[in-house]
Amino acid sequence: MTWRSFTISTACLISGLLGLLTHSTVLAQRYDAYSLADSVTIGQRFEIAISVEHDGSRSPLFPHDFLPDSLRNQPAFELGGFTILGNSPPGRREISNNWYIDSLRYEVATFELDSAYVTSFPVGLISSTDTLIAGTPGVLVWITSLVQDDAEGIRDITGLADFPGISVFWYFVPFLLLGLAYWLWRRSRKTEEIQLPEEKPEPKEPPWDEARRRLKLLEKMDLSKPENVKPFYVELSELLRTYLSRRADIPALETTTREVVSRLRSALNDGIVPQEIVGEMENVLSNADLVKFADMRPADEAGRAALSKTSSAIIGTEKEFTARQDALREEADRAEAGNRDADQADDQEDEAIDTEDDAAEPKRVQEQNWGAPRDGNHE
């Protein structure tokens, strides 16, 4: 869950609690939300309408009004299973004497698989003296398959096929194959000594060098041309995912943005990607998904900002990785030095024991040959 979706979810929770405390007042108002499309495909843009029915003494508050100021300039925000891309200007109409409906439409998209759902949209009414916060009913949208309408349906199971009996020849096929395999093995053993050694593949380009090279190529793209916008974001997402798959050892190229971010957050204790950088990477990948699947077209400045964020995130990750590798090497060097000191101490102890044994050896030989001396004479 991102900070943007967390903010809206918190507003929904507060709206429910305040609704219980101001039950008699809120009952006089009506709040509604519904999708203008019953079913959509992944990434398809559609609209959700939200309305507030009231007596006209207050001004309405819609979901985007609950966003903090720091997030209002973002191109999109998440709410439940929906990504909010923009909204129409709010409108008002009078339905009876001193009774009004304020409404607007949100342009949204979803990247869920089966269905997208939000429990409630936060709405409210504000005046100079107080503010009422409530929530609309939930909205459910089904996600349909991307298979074309003219595709053939599932065919029924065919009947059992008749197969002719097995010829006697096939009983000897396994033995023939074993004989052929043995002959090939003997032949390879004879030519093994004269075969040239295989060339070893050159090592891969280091992750940081590859990412830096691809970032420099993106810097040269002219984003003022509409045909360059989508390829720019596709390559930006691919190079970031490639770097993460190689440096953080996660399948970033085969998983969704949500799964990539989840794996990065679960790997924070490993010290691979710093916590403050995970949010920047999530923002870049989410906006790239909107361009690829929801056909969003950000401004030139937004693309340059995304490129700068990606470069900063990769540089920060590389610094953290390098510092971690240096710490591990220092720890290994200390352990090796400790082992050397222990081995040296053991060698010194063994040498002292050998010296004592060498000094005592003549006396033992004398005792064995002559016996221990008594009263200064030998027996």
What span, in angstroms and rounded, lies between the C-alpha atoms of 198 and 144? 51
CA 79 to chain centre: 19
Q: Which domain holds residue 34?
A: 11-143
Q: Is the dihedral of CA 292, 293, 295, 301 positive or negative?
A: negative
Residue 125: inside a domain = yes
Residue 122: inside a domain = yes
Same domain, 16 and 130: yes
Residue 186: inside a domain = no
Tokens of 188: 């390879």
Residue 196 has what pLDDT?
45
pLDDT tens track for 269-279: 566 777 788 88
Show the low-confidence residues of the chain (pLDDT under 50): 1-7, 16, 18-27, 194-197, 200, 202, 376, 378-379
Residue 18 has what pLDDT?
46
What span, in angstroms and rounded, lies between the C-alpha atoms of 317 and 195? 45
Nearest to 240 by CA among 285, 178, 272, 185: 285
Nearest to 303 by CA among 238, 227, 218: 218
Amino acid at 345: A
Residue 262: inside a domain = yes
Same domain, 18 and 133: yes
**CATH number of the structural domain spanning residue 26:** 2.60.40.10
The pTM score is 0.48
Residue 23 has what pLDDT?
40
Same domain, 17 and 124: yes
- Nearest-Å Rg of the Cα atoms of the chain is 37
Total tally of structural domains belonging to the chain: 2
Same domain, 114 and 221: no
Same domain, 137 and 223: no
Same domain, 227 and 314: yes
Residue 270 has what pLDDT?
61
Residue 351: inside a domain = no
Using the 3D structure, point to which of 91, 116, 143 is the last residue of a domain. 143
Nearest to 116 by CA among 138, 141, 137, 136: 141
What span, in angstroms and rounded, lies between the C-alpha atoms of 210 and 206? 6
Residue 3 has what pLDDT?
42
Residue 375: inside a domain = no
Using the 3D structure, point to which of 128, 143, 158 is the last residue of a domain. 143
Residue 309 has what pLDDT?
92
Residue 149 has what pLDDT?
58
Residue 170: inside a domain = no
Residue 332: inside a domain = no
Residue 12 has what pLDDT?
52
pLDDT tens track for 144-186: 876 665 656 666 677 776 666 666 667 777 888 888 888 888 8
